[in-house]
């Protein structure tokens, strides 16, 4: 838990339906945010499934699950929409072009690295961290892997009992 929380830099992305989503939309309800990409073979789908389970368990009232793609070149709005909806109809998917993503990545201390593959494509390496953003829109806690449902449930309950927004 980050005592007092930490501000998140202003950013401007779009949600899975093409609507604007920025810093102001983080206020009003707590959020659990994860950076990933739809072509990820293992970490991203596993983590999103875990996040959806946390949301359904109502560990934190009104918890929103937010997935931010770090691969805007392949993850257009429709691809993102289909991907997040495969996990749950309430998940929020966000995308932006590289320049739009950089400020949010930097603000949260997240990284991504595009690596060319021999076949002319690329892979994306990225932080696998979960970011808990309080209803005040400030970063309140950071969770690092490995993740488990029981451990995250306990940690989120501890945050709630400690008065995290």
What CATH number does the domain containing 57 carry?
A: 3.40.30.10
**According to the model, what pLDDT value does residue 2 have?**
84
Is residue 114, in this structure, part of any structural domain at all?
Answer: yes
Is residue 5, in this structure, part of any structural domain at all?
Answer: no
Is residue 23, in this structure, part of any structural domain at all?
Answer: yes
C-alpha–C-alpha distance, residues 110 and 158, integer Å: 24
**According to the model, what pLDDT value does residue 50 have?**
96
**According to the model, what pLDDT value does residue 1 have?**
78
**According to the model, what pLDDT value does residue 118 have?**
95
**According to the model, what pLDDT value does residue 161 have?**
79
What is the separation of C-alpha 83 from the centre of its chain, rounded to a whole number of angstroms? 14
Q: Which residues of the chain have pLDDT under 50?
A: none
Is residue 42, in this structure, part of any structural domain at all?
Answer: yes
- As for how many domains the chain has, the answer is 1
Token representation of residue 136:
């005040």
Token representation of residue 121:
């494509």
**According to the model, what pLDDT value does residue 22 have?**
96
C-alpha–C-alpha distance, residues 58 and 153, integer Å: 10
Is residue 1, in this structure, part of any structural domain at all?
Answer: no
Is residue 6, in this structure, part of any structural domain at all?
Answer: no
Full-prediction pTM beyond 0.85? yes
Closest C-alpha to 105, from 53, 114, 47, 62: 114
Is residue 66, in this structure, part of any structural domain at all?
Answer: yes
Is residue 100, in this structure, part of any structural domain at all?
Answer: yes
């Amino acid at each position: 838990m980050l005592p007092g929380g930490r501000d998140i830099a202003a950013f401007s992305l779009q949600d899975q339906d093409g609507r604007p989503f920025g810093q102001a939309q983080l206020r009003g309800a707590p959020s659990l945010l994860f950076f990933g990409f739809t072509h990820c073979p293992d970490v991203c789908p596993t983590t999103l499934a875990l996040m959806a389970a946390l949301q359904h368990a109502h560990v934190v009232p009104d918890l929103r699950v937010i997935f931010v793609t770090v691969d805007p070149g392949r993850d257009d709005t429709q691809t993102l929409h289909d991907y997040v909806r495969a996990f749950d109809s309430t998940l929020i998917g966000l995308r932006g072009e590289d320049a739009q993503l950089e400020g949010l990545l930097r603000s949260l201390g997240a990284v991504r690295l595009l690596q060319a593959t021999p076949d002319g494509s690329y892979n994306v390496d990225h932080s696998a961290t979960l970011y808990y953003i309080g209803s005040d829109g400030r970063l309140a806690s950071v969770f690092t892997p490995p993740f488990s449902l029981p451990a995250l449930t306990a940690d989120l309950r501890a945050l709630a009992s400690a008065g995290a927004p």
